[in-house]
Amino acid sequence: MDGKILFAAQDGVHVLKFVGDVRVTLGPAISSFLDRIGNCQFFRSITIDLSETVGIDSTSLGLLAKIAMRVDESFGAVPTIVSTNDDITRVLLSMGFDQVFVIVTDVGEGLTEVGGTSEVPCRAVSDEDMREQVLDAHRALMSMNEANRVAFQDLVGALEAEAAAR
């Protein structure tokens, strides 16, 4: 199932819902949201709903980490992730997402149902911009803890070497 990202906001409450298989190709949509959230005039909370996510790659996880960092930096708040898929929750916990998000795994029906959702458009970006986005996302993951630093240092090193060679 191809992935998509839905967004809704009401009274300063923001919901970003990942549906399907969320991969690097949706990175520009997540980045677009990331750019907007830092400039938000009225902010109370943000919830990332992964209840309909069937897969998520490390770039998308890195962009989620960047959202947590931006929300903390801009608003002094801790975002919430709703994850009802045990496999995805296990990945989140293994990467230390519980240090930067409140993770909710058992929710009542309709917790993140918000009216007026719209799909976050996925704009086309150049290969160079996509590489930079992947690099930034993995740097964010590495900054979360030592285990992530070790896990992604080779990938980040290779991407940095590729960028330097251009």
Domain range 4-122, CATH class: alpha beta
| Residue partners of 137: CB distance under 8 A and separation at least 6 | 27, 58, 59, 60, 61, 62, 63, 65, 66
Q: Does the structure show a pLDDT above 60 at 114? A: no
What share of the chain in percent tops pLDDT 70?
Answer: 92
Which secondary structure element, helix H or strand E, spans residue 152, and what is its range?
helix 146-165
Q: Does the structure show a pLDDT above 60 at 135? A: yes
Between 114 and 12, the more confident residue is 12
Residue type, 76: G
Q: Does the structure show a pLDDT above 60 at 111? A: no
Of 26, 27, 31, 33, the residue nearest 8 (C-alpha): 33
Domain positions in the chain: 4-122
| Tens of pLDDT, residues 25-61 | 888 888 888 878 777 888 899 999 999 999 999 999 9
Number of C-beta neighbours around residue 158 at 10 A: 11
Q: Does the structure show a pLDDT above 50 at 144? A: yes
What share of the chain in percent tops pLDDT 90?
Answer: 55
Structure tokens at 154: 């080779």
Q: Is the CB of residue 38 less than 8 Å from the CB of residue 57? A: no
Q: Is the CB of residue 13 less than 8 Å from the CB of residue 36? A: no
Structure tokens at 146: 């030592």
Report the distance separating Cα 16 and Cα 104, nearest Å.
15
Tell me the pTM: 0.87
Of 49, 105, 97, 109, the residue nearest 69 (C-alpha): 97
Q: Where is average pLDDT lowest: 50-64, 77-91, 99-113?
A: 99-113
